[in-house]
Amino acid sequence: MRHNKKFNHLSRKKGHRDALLANLAIALIQHKRIFTTVAKAKALRVYAEPLITRSKKDDMANRRLVFSYLQNKEAVKELFGVIAEKVAERPGGYLRILKTTHRLGDNAEMCMIEFVDFNENMLEATTAKKAKTTRRSRSKKAAAPAAAPAEAPAEEAPKAEEAPKAE
């Protein structure tokens, strides 16, 4: 019986699946973005996000636990160094999955999985959208003082033009 075994087995035995997810996680940590199938990306997100959460607290126990999953010293250094600094204030949701196209050979649905904090283009777009808008109309008193200073410099400008004509 399959009670409480709801994760995707990816048509692999346990050892093969663990090796696949570890290799995908190492590639994601080193390159910050990888292209894979949607099923593997969803399985990788479940596998990698707890490891990223562990990296936020840098102590020997967490380093050893993450190394037991990844078995790669360079990936552990990168995770506890550069990535942990970027995700320190984020409470979760470190990875983003963006669907791209279908693979030519077998028409598998492909996607890009990346770290949310490492895509500068998306970060600039979110900061530009933060301007608040309201549905209220402005009051007449607030609009009137804004128009008055605009007229005063306009009156001074023609006087400056008249002076050169007199010479």
Query: Quick one: pLDDT at residue 167?
Result: 47
Query: Quick one: pLDDT at residue 136?
Result: 79
- Could you give the CA distance from residue 44 to residue 23 in angstroms, rounded to a whole number? 10
Distances (CA, A) of 15 to 10, 21, 114, 141: 12, 10, 25, 72
Task: Give per-residue pLDDT as tens, 77-101.
Answer: 999 999 999 999 999 999 999 999 9
Task: Give per-residue pLDDT as tens, 24-72.
Answer: 999 999 999 999 999 999 999 999 999 999 999 999 999 999 999 999 9
Q: Are 69 and 25 in contact (CB under 8 A)?
A: yes
Instruction: For the chain, give the percent of residues with pLDDT over 90.
Output: 66
pTM of the predicted model as reported, rounded to 2 decimal places:
0.73
What's the mean per-residue pLDDT of the chain? 86
